[in-house]
Amino acid sequence: MGDFESLSEATSGAIGSLLSTTILYPLDTCKTKYQAEVRAHGQRRYRHLSDVLWEAISNGQFLSLYQGLGTKNLQSFISQFVYFYGYSYFKRLYLEKSGSKKIGTKANLLVAAAAGACTAIATQPLDTASSRMQTSAFGKSKGLWDTLTEGDWSNAFDGLGISLLLTSNPAIQVGVTGFIKEILRLKLKLLKGNQASLSAFTAFLLGALSKSIATCLTYPAIRCKVMIQSAEADENNHKKAKRKASKTLSGVVFAIWRKEGVTGFFKGLHAQILKTVLSSALLLMIKEKIAATTWVVLLAIRRSLLAQNGRLKSA
């Protein structure tokens, strides 16, 4: 039953991620292109997030806001499946080994970080490819295979170190979510009994709060990662070599510091919070409802099988 519980968690999480990613993809594309640009204030192409949207519309390239959607959905589906399966598996393993009936907040953070690390390693090539597609010029995005094979295979893992560092983001989110959810469910259980579950609106607010906290704490690393993974411009070989050298973590940090100052590390924070909060809240809301429905079906099947076995024994 434990493995089936992990599978149920993983499937509901992956479906929720797929739906939320598709709904919010144009916003994600605008956010990514805005984050990837690093220039002095007077030379910026995009002064505001809305400038990215207007560029696509004015050039008749609105549909290009969806460039890389297939890769992003594939990455998102696999990522959330691996994450929720890993989280559920590591949590169950911890409870079995420790003999505890429930997991504490600190252990919950460690379990979430372990699941996040596995997810980052498994999906990094797709994450890099989707970022390159989104930051390509409108209408000039390449396919998944062409994007991944532009350089050597090590380039497909650009930003992996930061991705591993950013496992603290979902760890914080899951830790906060789990802590608040447990309190809410205990109160609901007292009021409504064992059948109590979180409402969709409560799950939405819970996801928004936990993700906002995690995003604010980790945003400088998020922006550096986007810049490292962004598509190369059409430049001569000398400029390409120079640009590639500057797309190391130290090179990106120096570029932001020199051209934009300290505030540059938080450029696009409002867009990141808007996108990630909506995405995570939708994900948790959808997952919560799918998971609840799944368990209702499982309980119905279990009762039916038990009743059938009872009739066979009595016969």
Q: How many CA atoms lie within 13 A of 253 on its CB side?
A: 7
pLDDT of residue 125: 92
On whether the CB atoms of residues 233 and 176 are closer than 8 A, the answer is no
Of 92, 113, 112, 99, nearest to 5 by C-alpha is: 92
Q: How many CA atoms lie within 13 A of 101 on its CB side?
A: 0
pLDDT of residue 194: 55
pLDDT of residue 31: 92
Walk along the chain (315 residues) in steps of 10 and give the mean pLDDT of each run: 60 75 90 85 80 91 91 86 85 86 79 88 92 90 86 83 83 74 74 62 74 83 92 50 63 89 90 81 74 67 73 66
Angle, nearest 10°, between helix axes 25-36 and 269-314?
140
Please name the helix (run of DSSP H) or strand (run of DSSP E) that holds residue 213, with its range, or none: helix 200-229
SS3 124: helix
On whether the CB atoms of residues 230 and 164 are closer than 8 A, the answer is no
pLDDT of residue 182: 78
For residue 101, report the phi and psi dihedrals to the nearest 5 degrees: -90, -25
On whether the CB atoms of residues 18 and 79 are closer than 8 A, the answer is no
On whether the CB atoms of residues 294 and 248 are closer than 8 A, the answer is no
pLDDT of residue 97: 85
